[in-house]
Amino acid sequence: MNLYFKFFFLIIRRLFYTKNKKLTDNCITNFTVGFFDLDLNFHMNNGRFFSVMDLGRFDLMIKTGYFYKIIKSGYYPVILSESILFKKSLNLFNTYEVHSKIEAWDDKFFYITQKFYLRDKIVASASVRACFKKRSQKGIISPKSLFEFIGEEVLDLKLTNLSKKQIELDEILVPRN
């Protein structure tokens, strides 16, 4: 429930933000660990990291100015896979940053890295494979089509080693057969 509040406050904070980022820019979003983020060990629940990553990706779309255009037109993001490595814990009232960056894309998917920082030290790092769909049509919307829709220049970013490994891991976990 409190993520709805975090999402609401994120949108309120961004109403007056100058929307000048590109989708490929690094987006930094600040959060504080609250009581409802904790697990029984009194540090941030590992599942909460994934929920906060959602907010970081939404913040990236908001800071570019494309969020409302994309959502209003019936597009919506879908996560195919996420992998995360935890290095340290986040404790109650820790203020931390989530850095979200689209690293690459192919004909169907975006490959995003998200890192959690506490006082300039990485506490968790994640790799995300995502796509967009549109409510009025079947199938995945290609990144190229999405870039054309929003009017942003389409760059030809090569898949990173991390992106390739994410694809390999996805194939191991759920083979196409």
List, run by run, the mean pLDDT of 10-residue segments along the chain (177 residues). Answer: 80 82 91 94 95 95 90 95 97 98 94 97 98 94 92 81 93 85
pLDDT of residue 1: 47
Beta bridge mates, 134: 75
Contact indicator for 139, 124 with CB cutoff of 8 Å: no
pLDDT of residue 5: 84
Q: Quick one: which of 135, 151, 6 has its CA closest to 64?
A: 151
Domain assignment of residue 12, given as a range:
2-173
| Chain segment 15-30, per-residue pLDDT in tens | 877 778 888 899 999 9
Q: Indicate which CATH number applies to the domain containing 89.
A: 3.10.129.10
Using CA atoms, how far apart are residues 31 and 94, in angstroms rounded to an integer? 8
Residue 166 tokens, joined? 């994410």
**Number of domains present in the structure of the chain:** 1
pLDDT of residue 151: 87
pLDDT of residue 123: 98
pLDDT of residue 20: 81
pLDDT of residue 2: 67
